[in-house]
Structure 1
Amino acid sequence: MQSQYFDVYSSWENNPEAFWKSASEAIDWFKEPDAVFDANAGVYGRWFVGGETNTCYNCLDRHVAAGNGDRLAFIHDSAMTGAQRSFTYSEVLAEVKAIATVMRDLGVGYGDRVVIYMPMVPEAIFSMLACARIGAVHSVVFGGFAAQELAARLNDSQAKLVISASCGLEPGRVVAYKPLLDKAIDLATVKPEHCLIVQRPELIAQLRPEKGELDFADLVGNALGRDIECVAVKATDPLYILYTSGTTGKPKGVVRDNGGYMVALAWSIPNIFGIKPGEVFWTASDIGWVVGHSYIVYAPLLAGNTSVIFEGKPVGTPDAGTFWRVIADHDVKVFFTAPTAFRAIRREDPDGELMAHYDLKGLRALFLAGERADPETLKWAEQKLKVPVIDHWWQTETGWPIAANPMGLGLMPFKHGSPTRPMPGYAIDVLDDSGLPVPAGTLGNLAIRLPLPPGCLPTFWSADERFRETCLSTFPGYYTTADAGVIDEDGYVFVMARTDDIINCAGHRLSTGSMEEVCAKHPDVAECAVIGISDTVKGQIPCGFLVLKHNVSRETEKISSEVAEMVRSQIGPVAAFKTVMIVPKLPKTRSGKILRGTMQKIADGMPWTMPATIEDPGALDAVTAALIAKGYGGGMRAVSRTGDT
């Protein structure tokens, strides 16, 4: 069908408040908002001021009241244990009420903060919803996060309660959480009053009741059947705090409100993702990352969908066919994951042979976000899955997509490498460093005109001024995305790199993302990353890191020279692309982002710290060794590793 996108986007442009007023009718309000938008409230204005609602009520109670209590809400599929469990909306509501009752009995109430430090188990998500039910503010920190980082989040949020588990499961190992939690509390200046611990059979933790450490299952089991009503909260009250690493070493607490977030997510499910109530939507991510919060937990429940809670990895649990098994087992209609997952699968199974073992006929679309989706990975996914593969762009700060090809409105023509066009609520400009718009097709800073739409962060936790300085001060009147890119003559957005990944080579501004696109075209390359290294003559020169597909037997020097020649041929000699290194894997965060900034510091011989969110510290060691072998940096670590667990 012809896309309705242009009509819908124009309706927002012509009357933003009427657009969002209409969208807000998908939410149940205890008290209707006094105003759709108040430009004088908050840092840049606030949405749905005066409205009162409850996110847990909208996710659970109203569906049960409407007679849909027997519909599946969650399927928990653990590739680590082989266990599968399903929960109806009524069953989830009963569990959430019990957890909310336990929290209330422990003195947790409206406005209090609760840190959830958990693996991907249902109890973690039920606890998030229980916080929402009583008006408490949750802050999820993914399980296994380093103790000093967890302590910083306990301090900043001033958490009253921690909900955790005895352990998490990783391929080949059990990660004990309790020692990390104990150390974090020892380090923290703000101590939680109680810790609820989910005991997993793979590792039982020793609890100290005298220190407020309590067994989650015992207390929740005893509370089943007790009723607890939803607390009416303001639309502008915080639902959660999601911490991201800050450049100053102090984490940034991204705040998400209740009303605007629900309105944006409820609009996005049918319109962007094209999902109908009752269908299965799987987002392969973790809670503790924004993708998990928005599209494992809140958006699917708001829309009456079934969401998959997956514990595992795209490869190694047990093989590169795990994703296809989950899709087939649970009749997943729309699948959402990070490009890095598909690059890992492609590396292990380049011909997609494992797909043939599973019935994927029910899958309608694949959505990719979280890391730049290079065209080669997109093409591979399209060829193997034979469904639309939709790149879309958003951030922790925005909470939902900035740009996408909206499946529910009818797909627009695809352009590989582009997340397509801005969604309603987002007006994107490309600016030069002085804040002036640049011509179509010119590389510059991607900036979003204020006000940001509903669902985006209103501020940082207890840090309005830091929010202004970090996000709003670079280009007055704009939110700074810190991404660089272009908008072409058709209005398509191309996100090329983080702004600190734009390199200046002999006076030419070059995108490392465009060079990565070329590197990825080589038939032997599974993954790649390009960074800029300081050079006394040219200012900066590009340096490429390649991860080869499995079973490649050709000489690595030959592959390196071929890739360098491809970049020279397709981008030009001005790129000065000569330095290429082959490494066993690229260092990434748990959410799949390549740690280019840290790699660049190592190359330039600058002090650096092991990022707390790193997935595999050994990958960064391999990059360091490769750089030293080439005569570059190897910069000193500023402190000991903070991310090892």
Structure 2
Amino acid sequence: MRSFFPNYELSLKDPETYWRRVLEASAEDIYWAKWPDKIFEWEPPKPFKWFVGGYTNAGFSAVSYKIRKYRDKPAYIYYSPELGVERKITYWELYQLVCDYAAALRAAGVRKGDRVMVYMPNSIEAVAVILAAARIGAISTTVFAGFSPKAVADRIELTEPKIIFTQDYSLRRGRRVPLKENIDEALKISPWRPEKVVVKRALPEAEVAMEKGRDLTLDEFLELGKYTDCSPVFLEANEPLFIMPTSGTTAKPKPVVHVHGGYQVWIWHGAKLVYGLEPGDVVFNTSDIGWIVGQSYIVFAPLIIGATSILFDGAIDYPRPDVFWEVVEKYRPTLIWTSPTAARLLMRLGVEQARKHDLSSVRRVVTAGEVLNPEVWRWLYEDVFQRRVPVIDHMWQTETGGPIFGYPYALVKDMGYGMEYVKIKPGSAGQPLPGVEFEIVDEKGNPLPPMHKGIVVIKRPFPGLTPTLWKDHERYLKDYWQRFEGRLVYYTGDAAHVDEEGYIWFGGRADEVIKIAGHRIGTIEVESALLTHPAVAEAAVVGVPDPLRGEAIAAFVVLKPGWRPTEELKRELIEHVRRTFGPIAVFAGVEFVNMLPKTRSGKIMRRVLKRVWTGEPIGDISTIEEEASVEEVKEAVSRMKILAETSRE
């Protein structure tokens, strides 16, 4: 195994030395009230521990520890194009706000270890609640402000929050989303009862029901803390910072735990190595604080490093198709952090939207969430940024807290003109970060050589990896850790292969790999092949049952403007893919749709495509961006099946 990241070999051969060096390097940014006694400790099946005996607080590192250096510097620039609201807050103002929230939480009876739930869109107030909870040793859990009442109820039941923060309404593409009403409905479903529900009024003219004795407006809540102190609580490095439940489908979501010590060190480590993040940076991250990307690289890491973040609340193409690029010109970010699906949407809208605006502030673009298809990478790198800035794909999970595969920004920023140059391979997530020792294995756990597709497993813990699930360590061991030939390994659930130069290529989730007559093809590989056709703007594929071959490919395609959906074009697309994969690429059909079912965070909901085909219950789709996309898929599947029946006759 190899990696182009500096000190990778040291991190595996002598992790004690490597992580002590990282601790020392990060000491200006991460505050330790007591320096750790021990780097790592693990006695399976107990949870592993990092930086044992050290005392810190991620909320303190992010705010109080920064005001001496960055007092009058903007910490956040909030912008909502739909509300027409812009607001800036300095590090000093953020410190004061966090103190107010911390005091009010304490006055409301919240203590170390109590859970605080946040069900709000991206906003300064939501960030302040998360940081204030951390400051007093409470455990936050942030729920994406698009989940349905049932999904929220599941998370309430899992985490049992003492207090819930929400908003009256949010706006999404001109529609009101009734967040407070969703909380009320969720509390009718869940057996757990919080002591307080705090409501931010974003639309004061709108009516909202308030339950006497339980519900408070945000102003009423802050009044509680008027005479209460906001002093921080320093916690042992392995005490919980927040719980981030994964998105469940049929099973209950998994309540992933991240802790104060290892999480802080890991997100700092990734920010420095992959993003090259410095205090002078302005970060435009299009994620949501309800997802791990928003938690790590909107809330905590940029503040810990002393950067400025653009806190964007809205859709990147509404109310104008060039809103994304407007933000870049107006607020001058140096780092754009977005999802591949968002990039595909921007590509579909056309490069002319980007060329209306001054993008000269941008120094790098990073993406994660799904594979950045080579065609989309080339569009960003060549058409939009004209080969001026690196476009860096990388990979991580909710469970890892930060990046585990990527490219070292310090070695790609010269784009080949400097002495130290790392080649970016479009479609590859790069190589492992220091501390990440991995293998590609088959279904029996046997290691596979380069160019063989299998499942990614990680052979040892690293500081960002979740050590447990909230109150369910047994499920954590069962779902994530597997013993292969006496070795205990972390099972990522992602399918990939490694090429001869050590680059990793992800093909989607292991359960999304399409198995055609014994051949394994990744969904991402087929989608990337479709995207190289000049007619295709977006594509999603799934494997569907085939009586002869086990599975076949069902493809759903969004066309670029100017192209017409025809039977001839369907045949052309199938042949186009077969030129890449050969005759093993057997299609159940190709259908054209106007939109794909995607979450608001930009991930294609392939399970929806597959379940529509098989007739299984679709499950919770409350995170979906456009509900109409599901109806489109149902009609497309119906057409596909009719054509298949006709051809058999």
Cα distance per residue 1:23-77 (max 9 Å; x no partner): 123221111212110122774521111111111110011111x342111111101
CA contact (8 A) 2:5 2:433 kept: no
CA shift, 1:610, in A, is: 4.0
Summarize the alignment of residues 58-77 of structure 1 with structure 2, pairs less than 5 Å apart: 58-64=61-67, 66-77=68-79
**Aligned partners of 2:385, 2:278: CA distance in 1, in Å?**
21
* 1:464 and 2:473 aligned: yes
Where 1:142 maps in the other structure, the secondary structure is coil
Tell me which moved more, 92-101 or 215-224. 215-224
What TM-score comes out, normalization by structure 1 length?
0.93
**Aligned partners of 2:604, 2:354: CA distance in 1, in Å?**
27
Q: Percent identity?
A: 36
**Aligned partners of 1:388, 1:520: CA distance in 2, in Å?**
21
Distance of aligned partners of 1:43 and 1:326 in 2 relative to their CA distance in 1, 3 Å threshold = farther
Summarize the alignment of residues 519-558 of structure 1 with structure 2, pairs less than 5 Å apart: 519-549=530-560, 551-558=561-568
Aligned equivalent of 2:417: none
CA contact (8 A) 1:76 1:310 kept: yes
Structure 1's unaligned 5+ residue stretches are 635-645
The residue identity in structure 1 corresponding to 2:458 is I
Equivalent of residue 167 in structure 1, options 166, 169, 177: 169
Summarize the alignment of residues 197-596 of structure 1 with structure 2, pairs less than 5 Å apart: 197-201=199-203, 204-206=206-208, 208=210, 210-220=212-222, 223=225, 227-246=229-248, 248-319=250-321, 321-349=322-350, 352-383=351-382, 384-386=384-386, 387-410=389-412, 412-451=422-461, 453-473=462-482, 475=484, 476-549=487-560, 551-577=561-587, 579-596=589-606
CA shift, 1:268, in A, is: 2.1
* 1:40 and 2:43 aligned: yes
CA shift, 1:458, in A, is: 0.8
**Aligned partners of 1:203, 1:290: CA distance in 2, in Å?**
33
The residue identity in structure 2 corresponding to 1:37 is F
What is the total number of aligned residue pairs between the two structures? Answer: 626
**Aligned partners of 1:605, 1:632: CA distance in 2, in Å?**
15
CA shift, 1:205, in A, is: 4.4
Distance of aligned partners of 1:564 and 1:6 in 2 relative to their CA distance in 1, 3 Å threshold = same
Equivalent of residue 57 in structure 2, options 54, 59, 67: 54
Tell me which moved more, 105-114 or 146-155. 146-155
CA shift, 1:337, in A, is: 0.3
Cα distance per residue 1:575-608 (max 9 Å; x no partner): 2136111111111122211111231122123343
**Aligned partners of 2:35, 2:53: CA distance in 1, in Å?**
7
CA contact (8 A) 2:115 2:160 kept: yes
Cα distance per residue 1:333-388 (max 9 Å; x no partner): 01100011111111122xx1122222111100110111221111111111112321
**Aligned partners of 2:221, 2:247: CA distance in 1, in Å?**
34
**Aligned partners of 1:632, 1:213: CA distance in 2, in Å?**
53
**Aligned partners of 1:60, 1:456: CA distance in 2, in Å?**
24
**Aligned partners of 1:329, 1:221: CA distance in 2, in Å?**
36
CA contact (8 A) 1:144 1:168 kept: no
CA shift, 1:418, in A, is: 0.2
Runs ≥4 residues deviating over 6 A: none
The residue identity in structure 2 corresponding to 1:361 is S
Distance of aligned partners of 1:225 and 1:191 in 2 relative to their CA distance in 1, 3 Å threshold = closer
Summarize the alignment of residues 98-137 of structure 1 with structure 2, pairs less than 5 Å apart: 98-137=100-139
**Aligned partners of 2:71, 2:347: CA distance in 1, in Å?**
40
Structure 2's unaligned 5+ residue stretches are 414-421, 645-649
CA shift, 1:505, in A, is: 1.1
Aligned equivalent of 1:606: 616
The residue identity in structure 2 corresponding to 1:183 is E
Where 1:301 maps in the other structure, the secondary structure is helix
Aligned equivalent of 1:190: 192
